[in-house]
A = this chain, B = another copy of it.
Amino acid sequence: MPRSKQPPATDSTSSSPDPRRLQMDDIARLAGVSTATVSRALNGSKLINEETRKRIVELARSLNYTVNVAARNLRIQENRTVAVVVPYDAKSRQHISDPFFLSIVGSIADALTDRGYDMLLSRVDAERLDLAAGWLDSGKAIGLILIGQWRHHDQLNEMAMRKLPLVVWGGEMPQQLYCSVGGDNQLGGALATRHLLQSGRRRVAFVGDAKLPEVWLRQQGYALALKEAGLKADPELELAAPFEPSAATEFLREFCALHQDFDAALCCSDVLALLMIQVLRAQGRRVPEDVAIVGYDDMPLAAYCDPPLTTVHQPVAEAGVQMVEALVAQMSGDRALSRTMPVYLYQRKSTLAGA
C-alpha cells in the first residue's frame, strides 16, 4: 500500500521546508464543502451557486492553490502539450545551434503559446527521427513538430502511416505521406540562380548536401534556372557540404582550392555563405568582384555582414503559425495538407558588382 496521506503539515515544527502541496481536499475542508464542489467552482461549472463559486475561487487564489495537472490530465484524458524536436548530428555532437532552427523554434513557441498549448523542446539523433514519436507514445505530448527532415524521409513516412499528429519543417517531396511546412525551396533556388545569371555570372557553384530534401529542391530550382539560361549544370560545381561550420570549412577550402573557375555560388545557408566568403578571401579572391555569393535563410544579421549578404528570405514568423495550424487540424482528426510558403530574394552587396 502506498504511504498514507501525510498529516496536514503541522506548523509545530517551524522548519518544515516543503509543506505538502495544497490539494483540493484542503480547499474543500477550509471552505466547508466537498471536493466536487471545489472542482466545479474552479472549472466554472454552471450548476453551482454563484456565491459559493466566488468564495471558493477566492480562497483558492489566496492560498495559491492550483490543480495538479497530472491528476487532471489522467482523469480527463486530455493534454495540451506539443513536442518540438530538433534533430542534431550525433556523430559530430553538433547540438541545437543553427541560428535559423532556433528562430523557427521561437516562432513555434509563440504560435503554440497563442493557442494555449505547452511546448516540450528536445533534440533527437538525426539518424533516428522516429524516436521523436516517443513523446506521443508515452503520452507526454499529443502532437509532434519536427524541425527538418534530414536524411530520413522514410522514417517520417512511417510515422505518418501510424497516423501520428506530425508536422515537419522542410520541403514537400513527391509522394510524401506526412505533413510538411516550409518555404518554397525550388523557387528559392531558382530566384537566387536567375539573379546570379542575370548579373552576368556564368559558372555558378551550388553548395549544400542534396541528400537533404530541402537542399535537393533548391538544387532543382538551381538546375531549372541554368536550363532556362541555356546552360547545363556542371556536377563539378556542386559541393555536398554539411551545415556544421567547422566540417563545412574543410569542404569549402578543398573545393575552392580545386576549382578556381567559378564566379558565383549559391550557398544553402547564410552561415555557409559567410564561411565561403572567408575561404575565398583567404585564397585571394574578392567578393563580390571575383565571386558573387548568395546565402539562404536571411538570418537577422545577414544585412550586417561584410559584405551584406544577398540571400533568400525564409518566412520564419509565418512558419510557427502555419505549423501549429496544420498540427491542430490533425489533432482534431482532419487531414492537413502540406504547405509551401513563398520566399523572396533580398539583394544586397554580396552579388552587387558586375562581372
Contact = CB atoms under 8 A, between A and B. Distances in A.
A113 B102 contact: no
A21 interface: yes
Interface stretch (A183-191, A224-232, A297-305): A297-305
Given A67-B138, A274-B304, A103 B102 contact: yes
A58 interface: no
Nearest to A84: B121
A201 to B, nearest CB: 22
Contact of A119 (B66, B95, B122, B277): B122
A75 to B, nearest CB: 8
| Chain copies in the assembled complex | 2
A39 to B, nearest CB: 13
Q: Is the interface of A mostly helix, strand, loop or mixed?
A: mixed
24 contacts: A17-B163, A65-B137, A66-B134, A66-B138, A67-B139, A69-B138, A70-B74, A95-B110, A96-B106, A97-B103, A99-B103, A102-B103, A102-B105, A102-B106, A105-B121, A109-B121, A109-B123, A110-B123, A118-B120, A119-B120, A274-B301, A278-B304, A299-B301, A304-B306
A315 interface: no
A96 B106 CA distance: 6
A122 B95 contact: no
A64 interface: yes
Which 8 interchain pairs have the tightest Cβ spacing? A306-B306, A102-B102, A96-B106, A274-B304, A70-B73, A66-B137, A66-B138, A70-B74
Given A106-B97, A122-B113, A69 B139 contact: yes
Nearest to A245: B300
A18 B163 contact: yes
A122 B70 CA distance: 19
A271 interface: yes
A4 B263 CA distance: 71
Interface string A21-57: 1000000000000000000000000000000000000
Interface string A285-326: 000000000000001110011111000000000000000000
Interface in A134-190: 134, 137-140, 163
A262 to B, nearest CB: 21
A199 interface: no
Nearest to A163: B17
A71 interface: yes
A18 B74 CA distance: 18
Contacts of A105: 102, 105, 121
Contacts of A305: 301, 304-306
